[in-house]
Amino acid sequence: MAKIAFVQNMALEYIGTMYLSSILKQHSHQAEAFIGDIGPKMICQIRNYNPDLIGFSCVTGLHEWCLKAAREIKKNISAKIIFGGPHPTFFPDVINEGPVDIICRGEGEGAILDIADNIDKDLNYTKTPNCWFSTKTGIIKNDVRPLLEDLDGLPFPDRQLYLKKYPYLKSVQKVIFTGRGCPYNCTYCFNDSLKKIYWDKGKYVRKRSVDNILEEIGSLRAKERVDTIYFQDDVFFIDKNWLEDFTLKYSKKVNLPYICLLRVENIDEENVKLLKESNCKNVFFGIESGCEEFRYKLLKRHITDGQIVKAAALLKKYGIRFRTYNMLGLPGETREDAFKTVHLNTAIKADYPWCSLLYPYPGTEINSYAASRGLILDEPRQKSHPSFFKTSVISSSCRNELINLQKLFFYAVKFPRLEGLIKRLIKLRPNIIFDIMFLISYGWCYLKSENYRIREVISRGIRNVSGFYFKSG
């Protein structure tokens, strides 16, 4: 039996980590989560657990905290440290950092189980597919294994990994994934880069059966209160036949209100009717930019303004509220371009307009585009700020105005009469007043669009807002 400790600073349930824990426990290994900043108390807790392996789920931005925490752990505990998640997947050279012994690229279930099994048997595990290993003689680099084809064969996520130890994370909303992979090739998204890593390793877009999904929901409801389901897939459905099957079975057996992410291309009247019949309450979809040229050429989102307007009108017709995803700070974006995004959201009467600043992650096409033109600023990038809601790393003559407009985006969309005032305000230096205004609007959208209870939002916000928004590294 191997023992694995999963360490993180964000008070959130990482569903990827829960999948890893479930497959480990299914094969008689142990797993435990440790949440918080690394200090003497946390070090003592991890040492008392006596793990064989210490894992970090590592995204770009938060990787600086992961490295800092790993260094502190290494001073006190001899267990091997493994980094998994997007950052080591697309930036594998992180293994050259002192505290990192292993990195896992791509899907982690098979890799973590292979390593745990070999630890248990005291066997060499440096040939494990998906993983790179730092050894005395150099870095061992293994290719990725084929993608998991049968998602129904995975055990359900181990939600007790968090809730038993951190009951404040308990929520009446449950996150569920119905599949893996996205067929689209947006230049700012990890999916485009991940497809290249897995190009000859099997079908990239995979879907669980509706029966398997309903079984997971049933198991959740048997254990605790569930008010809302959040299907957090990049795209909830592509295949209309799957949606028809889902609607028929979900409405009869579950019928809980649910939230999902859609693509504008898939929103037509027949599909919206099916969503309504199956008790879909809110949907989220990306606009990203109100400028068609940016969407088509820079972001590779091939949707027109007309498609967006039509999709929004259909959702309004059937009483399904929607949150829009938008970005400012695109390479070459002007203030006038940015206000086109505001105006499009206003025109469709977005219920929950959500806006971030572009963070061109390593390995993405848009990162290469911006870097090749010398548009990435070194200073904020080196700070590796964990939040794409805080600052822009893209050089621009109107950079501060775009940063400020992102903070005030919600107000510009919901209260169009304020546009003249907002255009004057964004000329000021970025400041904490704008930060606070953003956090208020973000919290309201988060609460309303995801059907959380107020006390849950406050509890999570108090624990996470500092680490996610104000701190760097």
Which CATH number characterizes residue 125's domain? 3.40.50.280
CB 264 within 8 A of CB 285: yes
Q: Are residues 461 and 346 in the same domain?
A: yes
Say what the pLDDT of residue 157 is.
Answer: 97
CA–CA separation, 163 and 12 (whole Å):
10
87-100: pLDDT as tens digits: 999 889 999 988 99
| Alpha-carbon distance values, 416 to 79, 419, 444 (Å) | 56, 5, 18
User: What are phi and psi for residue 355, nearest 5 degrees?
Assistant: -140, 135
Which tokens sit at 452?
């959380």
CB 426 within 8 A of CB 412: no
Domains in the chain, number: 2
Question: In CATH, what number is assigned to the domain containing residue 412?
Answer: 3.80.30.20
Q: Are residues 62 and 179 in the same domain?
A: no
Q: Which of 225, 135, 228 is nearest to 174 (CA)?
A: 228
Token pair 């230049």: residue = 187
Token pair 């203030």: residue = 335
Q: Are residues 91 and 16 in the same domain?
A: yes
Strand partners, 96: none
CA–CA separation, 289 and 269 (whole Å):
24
Q: Are residues 100 and 195 in the same domain?
A: no
Q: Are residues 115 and 214 in the same domain?
A: no
Q: Are residues 185 and 122 in the same domain?
A: no
The verdict on residue 459 lying in a domain is: yes
Angle at 107 between CA 446 and CA 91, to 5 degrees: 80
Q: Are residues 44 and 188 in the same domain?
A: no
CA–CA separation, 324 and 344 (whole Å):
11
CA–CA separation, 225 and 268 (whole Å):
33
CA–CA separation, 409 and 338 (whole Å):
10
What size, in residues, is the chain?
Answer: 473
313-366: pLDDT as tens digits: 999 999 999 999 999 999 999 999 999 999 999 999 999 999 999 988 877 899
Query: Tell me, what amino acid is at 464?
Result: N
The verdict on residue 69 lying in a domain is: yes
Q: Are residues 179 and 134 in the same domain?
A: no
CB 242 within 8 A of CB 207: yes
| Alpha-carbon distance values, 223 to 118, 172, 322 (Å) | 34, 12, 30
Q: Are residues 38 and 185 in the same domain?
A: no
Q: Are residues 410 and 273 in the same domain?
A: yes
Q: Which of 6, 8, 12, 134 is nearest to 62 (CA)?
A: 8
* Burial of residue 345 (number of CB atoms within 10 Å: 0-12, 13-18, 19+): buried
334 by DSSP, 3-state: which? coil
Q: For the chain, which residues score pLDDT lower than 70?
A: 379-387, 452-473
The verdict on residue 122 lying in a domain is: yes
Q: Which of 363, 293, 299 is nearest to 325 (CA)?
A: 299
Q: Which of 288, 275, 282, 378 is nearest to 340 (CA)?
A: 288
Q: Are residues 193 and 282 in the same domain?
A: yes
* Order of all β-strands in the sheet with 138-141: 30-35, 3-8, 53-57, 80-84, 102-104, 131-135, 138-141
What count of other Cβ atoms lies within 10 Å of the Cβ of residue 82? 26
Q: Which of 331, 325, 399, 401 is nearest to 367 (CA)?
A: 331
The dihedral of CA 307, 311, 317, 322: what is its sign? negative
The verdict on residue 159 lying in a domain is: no
Question: What is the pairing mode between strands 173-176 and 138-141?
Answer: unpaired
Q: Are residues 280 and 395 in the same domain?
A: yes
The verdict on residue 67 lying in a domain is: yes
The verdict on residue 166 lying in a domain is: no
Q: Rg (Cα) of the chain, in Å, rounded?
A: 22
The verdict on residue 161 lying in a domain is: no
Say what the pLDDT of residue 168 is.
Answer: 87
Residues 6 or more apart whose Cβ sits within 8 Å of residue 267: 285, 310, 311, 314, 315
CA–CA separation, 381 and 251 (whole Å):
47
DSSP annotation of 458: H
Question: What is the pairing mode between strands 173-176 and 228-231?
Answer: parallel
Residues 6 or more apart whose Cβ sits within 8 Å of residue 122: none
Which tokens sit at 72?
């502190």
Residues 6 or more apart whose Cβ sits within 8 Å of residue 75: none
The verdict on residue 164 lying in a domain is: no
What domain range is 117 assigned to?
Answer: 3-141
